[in-house]
Structure 1
Amino acid sequence: MQSVAKMRTRHLGVLPKRGTMSVTSSDLTLEQLQAEIAAGRVDTVLVAATDMQGRLQGKRITGRFFIDEVMDNGTEGCNYLMAADVEMNTVDGYELTSWERGYGDLMFVPDYSTLRRIPWHPATVMVQCDLAFLDGSPLSVSPRQVLKAQLERLSTLGYAPIGATELEFALYNTGYREAMGNDYRNLVAASTYNIDYSLFGTGQVEGYLRRLRNEMDGAGLYTESAKGECNLGQLEVGFRYTDMLTTCDNHVVYKLGAKEIADQEGKSVTFMAKPNDREGSSCHIHMSLSDTNGTPVFPAGHGTEMSETMKHFVAGVVATQHDFTYLYAPNINSYKRFADGSFAPTAVGWGWDNRTCAVRIVGHGPALRFEQRVPGADANPYIATAALIAAGIHGIENKLELPEALEGNAYTQDVRSIPRRLHDSVAAFGSSDIARSAFGDEVVDHYTHAGKVEMAAFDAAVTDWEVRRGFERL
């Protein structure tokens, strides 16, 4: 078995120098952590890895045991973590794990560049991990490894991606336990009307927002701002761009922290893509590329002219939109968000600063970038980002021509639509030669099966809509 020290490698893109504040997730060195534990200022280490649903899973390790055992050797966890559904049910049909295989262990391999304090829990730090087999070989289907594989492919072309995610959520004054007890009915939203950009509206929830902004800063994220959104209780906190692996690491910490802080405040938040009949919650992903010297390669000058590299990359994103939609929208509920005139895109295409398109080009000069608008708040950031990079590589390697920009309202134009049902997007991904070439059969088959599991669970459920519609009338 390889040592943890040899396995904990990380791809880091070179960032343009802007300002002096750190934009990496690491706010704590391993040596500092050892000193903090020895002094009694840290007593708990969260050892965490991201599952297929984009959630942090792991163990709460005592400080002493972390130093004595886990620091150099990692820790183990059941391999069903990479083969369970949203409700953590064991699921048949995966190559990785099954009752017949005995549900053995995987290794949690700490990546110490992710060490961070967790301010909303006393004396607590977190380290994020890669997952590996017991012989030390990486688990290719784990979300972080899926992304790292695409980062490595892009690196061989001489590029590193940088960017940020814009993640929306809905805040409720109803706590999680009360919400579950009421079967998630009659939830009290934290706002009573559309508070998009409203300072008065966000001022009414500033107690929670202030904790979220400042405690994310304390966890090593570079918080930029917070704002209201359209749906009742809907909010967004923005974070500064950095390399895409760190962006995804930060993203999952933010999701966990937003929920835990809300829980401590007697509230709840949801990252469902469509929690009710109003506007859905998105996860827009902004991305650009730099070369090995940290020089942006998307702009052709100081204005909005795109380089050939950017044109090919964006062309790849557009060309694979249909095949890769499942990786941006992995749940049944994801597709309820896609509706005309909703700010959630339906048209496959790109446009200049056009929020009706799936891909929006924004910025100028070094800030020139694209925004992928299809993912919802329920997207797994590692998988969605890996899809974008794989798409861009496809465009670069095949020198794809960028189609004409969509102008005006893309919702009403005669262009191809993204898949509008999970059934269709899973089928498109599973049968995609581009996907299998980029990710390999093992990854494609694993995540295609996850989609089939989600579909089967929904198809077997009797919904409130069916009961209300047919109980008396049929």
Structure 2
Amino acid sequence: MAPSNPDAPPLRNDRHLGVDDLRLRIERGEIDTVVVAFTDMQGRLQGKRLHGRYFLDHVLGHGTEGCNYLLGVDVDMNTVDGYAITSWERGYGDMEFQLDLSTIRLLPHLPGSAMVQCDLAWPASSSGGDHQPVVQSPRTILKRQVDRADELGYVALAGTELEFVAYQDSYEAASELNYHGLTPVNQYNVDYSILGTTRIEGLLREIRNATYAAGMNVEGAKGECNLGQHEIGFLYDDVVVTADNHAVYKTMAKEIAAQQGRSITFMAKVNEREGSSCHIHLSLRGKDGSIVFWDDDRDDRTELYDQFIAGVLATMADFTLLYAPNINSYKRFADGSFAPTAIAWGEDNRTCAVRLVGRGPAARMENRVPGGDVNPYLALAAMLAGGLHGIERGLELEPPTEGNAYTSGRPTVPRTLREAREVFTASEVARATLGDEVVDHYTNMADVELAAYQAAVTDWELRRGFERL
């Protein structure tokens, strides 16, 4: 149904809901629950489930609120020190959840449910005041880089290729087993195997069809290398739309697996075999839709494209913390693993951090550094910040790496979270493009993870030292 309100935002596609359509479905009793959600630092959807009538009467016009500690907790939801915007001393007040009405979608795997995604703002009574955006919010960080691109005359398009490992065990059973000895849904490498995906098609098909009905443009599914590893791909789109869909897809995939008594993990490295990546494809277009990365007359890359790639490479170490945000992320960076270590680019070269693919309108860069645990808003913001830095500075692109980048002698990405943290917090480019408030906030996030890991005694240490040391 087309919205009757001329001020209503345009629908992203015909599977999204307009405000009038949502209202009508609630009044008919077809929808009784509206999930109001934002994406937190860890890339997770957080928010509330609201009764449909309450949503219409009290939330639709002005949003809702939630505790500001949601941008200041660790992955276990523990309150931690060091964040400027949220603390015991500041009283853990509220943030406003500002509804983005262009994101309304059905949740077909959940009866009677719809979702709307949100931006975060400070209430007028807070020190931020006057409904100003929470600049540390991942969605706001990305939107500010989108605004930078707009000022230069460009729009950004992106697609994320997100891998996961699926298990026959439920999440509850996996927890009881302490995540050891789980049964993967495939017992051998099923990369591109039709038989391998057929074996788990009941899960893959449900995720594909449910995400399509929820407004995502699904391409397909394929097997991957690790036992039980698969990938479901989605079409290229506006960068914010892609990040929104990425966050919803991860949640939906886990929920659907749980409904089937199975579990899915998007950890970057779940065992000693192949890790799970999140290759990110990105390109710029003119605001009129014109192709700016390719010169048809020369049938070659434009200078703008080269400058953008040069900027991404020049800032790769600066922004590795945003591409690889967890301790586990760095276990994936291994030579000869298809996870890149060398800060290099190549034409269709999967050993490089940046792989260039496509020609003409399809010309785009692929960032192969992020893993399945990445926050898409932060990674896309970092890629845009780096690429626009290259354009603004007119950086020159170095020659491509031919052959095996693992043995090229090129500089490498930081190999630990601590090293990435040090480079990020000291980065002049990060502070100039993202702002001190953002850099300090995510530096503290790294510090929290490092402190937690430093205090942990691992299974590896126990096995290695319990008897023999």
Normalised by the length of structure 1, the TM-score is 0.95
Q: Secondary structure at the match of 2:244?
A: helix
Question: What is the rounded CA distance, in whole Å, between the counterparts of 1:54 and 1:253 in structure 2?
Answer: 10
1:301 to partner: Cα distance: 1.5
Distance 1:74 1:432, change over 3 A: same
User: For the Cα contact (< 8 Å) 2:327–2:416, is it kept in 1?
Assistant: yes
Matched, 1:384 2:379: yes
Question: What is the rounded CA distance, in whole Å, between the counterparts of 2:209 and 2:419 in structure 1?
Answer: 41
Question: What is the rounded CA distance, in whole Å, between the counterparts of 1:152 and 1:87 in structure 2?
Answer: 33
Any idea what the Cα deviations from partners look like across 1:332-351, whole Å, max 9, x if unmatched? Answer: 00000000000000000100
Distance 1:470 1:9, change over 3 A: farther
Question: What is the rounded CA distance, in whole Å, between the counterparts of 2:283 and 2:81 in structure 1?
Answer: 39
5+ residue gaps, structure 2, are: 125-130
Instruction: Please show how residues 22-421 of structure 1 align to structure 2 within 5 Å.
Output: 24=13, 27-135=16-124, 136-301=131-296, 305-421=300-416
Any idea what the Cα deviations from partners look like across 1:57-97, whole Å, max 9, x if unmatched? Answer: 00000000000001012111000000111111101110001
Question: What is the rounded CA distance, in whole Å, between the counterparts of 2:158 and 2:34 in structure 1?
Answer: 28
Q: Secondary structure at the match of 1:322?
A: coil
Distance 1:25 1:268, change over 3 A: farther
Q: Secondary structure at the match of 2:164?
A: strand
Q: Secondary structure at the match of 1:72?
A: coil
User: For the Cα contact (< 8 Å) 1:25–1:113, is it kept in 2?
Assistant: no
Question: What is the rounded CA distance, in whole Å, between the counterparts of 1:301 and 1:315 in structure 2?
Answer: 21
1:125 to partner: Cα distance: 0.3
Distance 1:26 1:422, change over 3 A: farther
1:9 to partner: Cα distance: 11
Any idea what the Cα deviations from partners look like across 1:189-208, whole Å, max 9, x if unmatched? Answer: 00000000000000000000
Q: Which residue in the other structure is 1:427 paired with?
A: 422
Question: What is the rounded CA distance, in whole Å, between the counterparts of 1:234 and 1:23 in structure 2?
Answer: 30
1:23 to partner: Cα distance: 6.5
Distance 1:9 1:95, change over 3 A: farther
User: For the Cα contact (< 8 Å) 1:131–1:142, is it kept in 2?
Assistant: yes
Q: Secondary structure at the match of 1:128?
A: strand
1:319 to partner: Cα distance: 0.5
Question: What is the rounded CA distance, in whole Å, between the counterparts of 1:342 and 1:261 in structure 2?
Answer: 30
1:285 to partner: Cα distance: 0.4
Question: What is the rounded CA distance, in whole Å, between the counterparts of 1:23 and 1:337 in structure 2?
Answer: 35
User: For the Cα contact (< 8 Å) 2:12–2:103, is it kept in 1?
Assistant: no
User: For the Cα contact (< 8 Å) 1:23–1:242, is it kept in 2?
Assistant: no
Any idea what the Cα deviations from partners look like across 1:308-330, whole Å, max 9, x if unmatched? Answer: 11010000001001111111000
Question: What is the rounded CA distance, in whole Å, between the counterparts of 2:452 and 2:18 in structure 1?
Answer: 43
Provide the aligned length of Structure 1 versus Structure 2.
Answer: 458
User: For the Cα contact (< 8 Å) 2:8–2:19, is it kept in 1?
Assistant: no
**Residue identity matched to 1:469:** R
User: For the Cα contact (< 8 Å) 1:25–1:115, is it kept in 2?
Assistant: no
Distance 1:357 1:48, change over 3 A: same
Question: What is the rounded CA distance, in whole Å, between the counterparts of 2:59 and 2:359 in structure 1?
Answer: 46
**Residue identity matched to 1:33:** L
User: For the Cα contact (< 8 Å) 1:429–1:435, is it kept in 2?
Assistant: yes
Distance 1:167 1:24, change over 3 A: farther
Question: What is the rounded CA distance, in whole Å, between the counterparts of 1:470 and 1:413 in structure 2?
Answer: 37
Question: What is the rounded CA distance, in whole Å, between the counterparts of 1:419 and 1:70 in structure 2?
Answer: 44
RMSD in angstroms over aligned alpha carbons? 1.5
Q: Which has the higher contact order (CA 8 A, sep 6+)?
A: 1
Any idea what the Cα deviations from partners look like across 1:90-133, whole Å, max 9, x if unmatched? Answer: 01110001111110010111000000000110110000000111
User: For the Cα contact (< 8 Å) 1:303–1:365, is it kept in 2?
Assistant: no
Runs of 4+ aligned residues of structure 1 deviating over 2 Å after TM superposition are 22-26
Question: What is the rounded CA distance, in whole Å, between the counterparts of 2:350 and 2:43 in structure 1?
Answer: 26
User: For the Cα contact (< 8 Å) 1:302–1:366, is it kept in 2?
Assistant: no
Question: What is the rounded CA distance, in whole Å, between the counterparts of 2:69 and 2:299 in structure 1?
Answer: 47
User: For the Cα contact (< 8 Å) 1:27–1:220, is it kept in 2?
Assistant: yes
Question: Does 23-32 or 36-45 show the bigger shift?
Answer: 23-32
Q: Secondary structure at the match of 1:405?
A: coil
Question: What is the rounded CA distance, in whole Å, between the counterparts of 2:288 and 2:266 in structure 1?
Answer: 37
Question: What is the rounded CA distance, in whole Å, between the counterparts of 2:441 and 2:451 in structure 1?
Answer: 16
1:39 to partner: Cα distance: 0.5
